[in-house]
Chain A
Amino acid sequence: MFDKIWDAHVVKEIPGGRQVIYIDEHFIHEVTSPQAFTGLRQRGIPVFRPNKTHATADHNVPTKNQHLPIKEELSRKQVDTLTVNCNDFNVELYGLGHERQGIVHVIGPELGITQPGKTIVCGDSHTSTHGAFGNIAFGIGTSQVEQVLSAQCLILDRPKLMRITVDGTLQSGVTAKDIVLYLNAEMTVGGCTGYFIEYAGDAISSLSMEGRMTVCNMSIEMGARGGMIAPDQKTYDYLEGRPFVSTGEAFDNLVSEWKKIASDPGASFDKEVRFSTEDITPMITYGTNPGMGIGIDEVIPDLSSDSFYKSLKYMDYNSGDKMEGKVIQHVFIGSCTNSRIEDLRSVASFIKGKQKASSVKAMIVPGSKQVQKQAKEEGLDDIFRSAGFEFREPGCSACLGMNEDKIPAGEYCISTSNRNFEGRQGQGARTILASPLMAAAAAIEGKIVDVRKYIN
């Protein structure tokens, strides 16, 4: 699958082995684009294909009172700079207040910009999310954002290919997030560096599009350039009728093209690994990278290295501890990993009729305006509020704490986001990654629990 898409986008081979690759869709946001536009101004050049770049404000935006001016001066300046740049260079902006605004990796699929067979980039490492639709999607640096704005191309070396197959049916209480946290733990934080991953197997194809996006989203946490899943009927059904997707006969033609994308039987990979759902239980992280995760039944291991001990010291945990029962003060449900309508529905169905622990602050941040709207239409917001959760406005929020949604130093947050790095959610904050279900269960009890005790 990777080769078919890549080969169709090679503009030119250059001496030394690199290739010039054409980029079909480019997403930008306020944090990693300003310097790229400055570069264009310095060179005196326009955006080469403005209709192939799509902008939104997400990283820096407040999740309360979005109709008011942003209070924090630097954040406001960055968001305003994006608006000026989009105006000056004729790029469509789904800015703050726009009905299509949201986290860049949520709105791309939602609008149908993300489609099978395309090459998709963004100045954000979680661009791998889009690969759930069977395309080549990956994060880039700002110099590369400038390259795509200038010439709609990148000069790239071809990555190696890895197939990760997950066989079997998911056990009860186990979700897409648990699959990917399990893969992160098995492959480790740098275990897929240099590779592009294709996910396969029953456990992957049985996932909804939302679940597939969650899996592909965290490919980067294993160091992979990106992750992809073969498109199928679920992909076509998800895309049909979305704003950027052709309709009628043109859609049928698209689908027949998309059907050719999947890897052929016997396709070869540089590396193949296989896992079984029998080994995957609800996952929880205990350390300061996403590969430091264990099943909820397990205890924190002892890896005897300075870096490992530094990490446990930061978390104030010990080898041999169980995560079950550990107290948390914050619950964050959101981010490009788990802020889609399906995530919100699963949280709502779990917490309906329950009340969060009084010791906990719980916040749900929808991935986009569309998700927020749909959640309201379905009455999920009432369920959240009745259970004592705050339901905010869309943005990246406490995933990286660039806005005011920060976790205080020393406190613990169970989070459905993708990174538990030191200080990720605020200086000194301690992050525990888990699925929306596990986060919801922890909110109710004020401590980490095995969600299966509620389900079985």
Chain B
Amino acid sequence: MEKFTQLTSTAVPLLIEDIDTDQIIPSRYLKGISKEGFGDHLFRDWRYDNSGNPISDFVFNNAMYTGKILIAGRNFGCGSSREHAAWALADYGFRVVISSFFADIFKGNAMNNGIVPITVSEEYLHQLFTSIEQDAKSVFTIDLEKQELSNGEGNIFLFEIDAYKKDCLINGYDDIDYLLSMRKEIELFERKKAS
């Protein structure tokens, strides 16, 4: 997994609540057997119409908004457990998603793919949207070690993140490395459970 320490980038604002993983990546694009190529289909049905033409008022089709940060309305990633949603975001180039609330499975999937989900207050989220509305080139900085998100105007938000997952993100470890290192303990647990 790619390490994450700091990131400074512009952001793409998506001011919609309850965005489900069927929107992030529609089910007809889940047929791949690798983790690559899903970025082309990220928000497919919001980005393109039935004939495959870009839908001009969708933010992803507006060249003003680019960057490695996605800022979205509350309850981002609800619905299906498809990790393809995280793969699609990563493949498209996002490393951070900011929202006031994340669905659980999505949040875990994101962190398992080197994407940092940052939960901010509803108020701070709206400040971020306002900053971008005023200046599409607003730059935001994330410092994972310090758990800081700043909007470039000295307005810093201290975010929470699970200590173990933070460590994994910073070092690029994944859970399997950890689990494989404790196989003996797992076998011991199995023997105890069986007795």
Contacts and interface: CB of A to CB of B under 8 A. Distances in A.
B137 to A, nearest CB: 24
A307 B22 contact: no
Interface in B158-195: 162-164, 167, 174-176, 178-180, 182-183, 185-186, 189-190, 193
Given A141-B108, A189-B78, A38 B33 contact: yes
Interface in A1-37: 8, 11-12, 14-18, 20, 22, 31-32, 34-35
Interface in B97-148: 101-105, 108-109, 112-113
B186 to A, nearest CB: 6
Contacts of B32: 34, 74
B17 A424 contact: no
Contact of A139 (B16, B17, B81, B185): B81
B23 interface: yes
Interface in A154-175: 154-155, 157, 159
A147 B108 CA distance: 13
A402 B104 contact: no
Given A22-B189, A190-B18, A150 B74 contact: no
A12 B81 contact: no
B189 A307 contact: no
Interface string B3-37: 00000000000011110101100111011111100
A305 B17 contact: yes
A56 B113 CA distance: 26
A35 B35 contact: yes
B53 interface: no
Contacts, number: 183
Contact of A20 (B73, B179, B190): B179
A32 B82 contact: yes
Contacts of B108: 140-141, 144
Given A190-B74, A190-B75, A34 B26 contact: no
Contacts of A194: 104
Contacts of A159: 104
Interface residues of A, number: 69
A50 to B, nearest CB: 14
A173 B179 CA distance: 50
B86 interface: yes
Contacts of A150: 176, 179-180
B99 to A, nearest CB: 11
A150 B78 CA distance: 27
B80 interface: yes
A428 interface: yes
A75 interface: yes
A221 B164 CA distance: 28
B104 A151 contact: no
B195 to A, nearest CB: 13
B18 A307 contact: yes
A155 B34 contact: no
Interface string A44-74: 0100100000000001100000000000001
Interface of B: 15-18, 20, 22-23, 26-28, 30-35, 45, 50, 73-75, 78-83, 86, 101-105, 108-109, 112-113, 162-164, 167, 174-176, 178-180, 182-183, 185-186, 189-190, 193
- For the complex of A and B, list the 8 residue pairs with the smallest distance between their C-beta atoms, beginning with the closest: A16-B163, A151-B179, A143-B112, A190-B75, A74-B31, A141-B109, A141-B83, A34-B33
9 contacts: A17-B162, A18-B164, A20-B186, A43-B176, A141-B81, A153-B179, A402-B31, A419-B20, A428-B45
Interface of A: 8, 11-12, 14-18, 20, 22, 31-32, 34-35, 38-39, 43, 45, 48, 59-60, 74-75, 77-78, 81, 123-125, 139-144, 146-147, 150-155, 157, 159, 189-190, 193-194, 220-221, 223, 225, 289, 305-307, 310, 400-402, 409, 419, 421-424, 427-428
Given A189-B78, A409-B50, A422-B23, 9 more contacts: A20-B186, A81-B33, A125-B105, A150-B179, A193-B78, A193-B104, A402-B28, A422-B45, A427-B26
